Structure 1
């Protein structure tokens, strides 16, 4: 037990000026600590679990002698009950911090995830899509909510209005909400299962995407109309017409064509090599060029290696809407991307092309990991024969009343 000392008065305490620790009495172990520079503070010295501990009670005179004795007395009572006041204080602080962390909103978490996507994205457009879809569809419902409070009902409220009318967009919104909530869980802002997960969760509430009408699909031109369309397209002199024609003949994406440079084109080898940074899959892609595709290139003004192939009058890349506007002027209900679907349908219905050759022609990633591990080459020569057939097909203009029938030509 600490030695019982004389109980000093407030005046006597004020008169103490010597540096060190001084017992003031009233409560065993209560000390006034004075530093060499004259700073004063209260300490309670006590034994806890057989070890001497010191607990700060505040500075003097901010904490008066009477208050210091009251604090010391209360602290000793807790120690007698086996309560560690430091651990208690740390637990309270942790609980307060946890409460503050869980008040972070969905929008705040989404902003952090978007930053990550901006760092990961090969182009700014992809990161912008994350930001725009979350802001447009998720934020009005979830944005101001504490991320810890987001539940299944909230997710359904976001998705149900667009699930059957904008299914592709709704699917992406769901995936992005799931990613935001996963980020929040990982960072300690929420607990429990992710209400935006599909399997065993939303799949019991919403119909499968494949079973509902997907109005967001890219409109594609029917196969029998390709010949007439290509004839009409070739009669147009606009640069956008040449770009769209080249995109169709190579089955390439609009952005890949609009961003093509002369350094990517090897006219002698008749190959267009698109670098990894411009490909959706992040891998370089070689495109065999048919005679018709080569004719388009040779009909354009020759440019320097780094210059755009389809260079607008202002020296800039054709706009994203260039092909769409052209199709609208032609009165065609199709999108530039939709011609890739037409090409894929033609391959399936009109040729005996193996699946992997067709998928590689479209630069699709092989989803089977085992197959992808063994697929070393890019089947360039097989794809060259396929693109030659496609170009020949695109020149066929059926006579009135004549039907285009599948030729089922074998592609070895």
Structure 2
């Protein structure tokens, strides 16, 4: 009997969720997760029976047709093929949520679960989320990590460890076999540089954020331009050169909110960056008005030019303990560390927007530039409260 085959290799790859007939009892199941598997359907005693033939692409269209032909011949000979129920498939995202749920009881901080979900959802799920854990290999994990490994080494390291834990959980539950493709030693360490090596190149020395309230309190004792400027840099999480070159003309009102808008020409990303002003920032602005200066700089040097990096660095070092190390630029790292440790419920892209980092995704960057003003204001408000009073607030 001639079988009229309906599917093609191109269709198998592109069909939306559903059940599709190829012919001769061969069916293709496409789940909502995007996973695909083959099933042979036959009848016995008036009842339809399904036999799983394996997942696609592990089992190609040609191989599935050959398996179906073998089973069809058995049925025609009156033989009863063994019933093989297709195993229910869980996606990496589903396994990750189950893994998090199973570990909750052992976490002293209840917000660890939210931290796990946030980081995995942002960095791992776009690549691995819809995949069957048994099909995830090292190249898949590398794709999930490569965009953040050098720019965000601390975050990337945590994401890798969490992916590894989720895949270990899948193995214990019988959802995958073999070595863990997210393991570091003897695996990903041959692809990525060590986190400490990347951090050593990219990161500036930073004072532990827990010590910043005391440092900030000390800075408030001085009304010098360098002290005010350093406070401004810490409060706004801006870059040193951006803070030192701040102009009165850059203080504007946007959507009813007083903001400091750094023009594209003065930003590292060459894009305008808007900082919603908090009450503490406004108080610095008021104090800076005492400088009778015609240069237009908010924090002018004695000569009326841009305040030097040395002047601001001295303001910092003069207030550090002898055994402490830190840089002005490292204050941005302090802000990020505080966000990760103390504000786990706030999405990572909000703190990234405050730092004026570019993700490389044009759509996301455009969204962050136009629609995150309220979120940025709230996060900076919490940061400012922490600096002034040492309180967590939220």
Shorter-chain TM range is 0.3 to 0.5
TM norm structure 2: 0.46
TM norm structure 1: 0.44
Q: Which has the larger radius of gyration?
A: 1
Question: More relative contact order in 1 or in 2 (CA 8 Å, sep 6+)?
Answer: 2
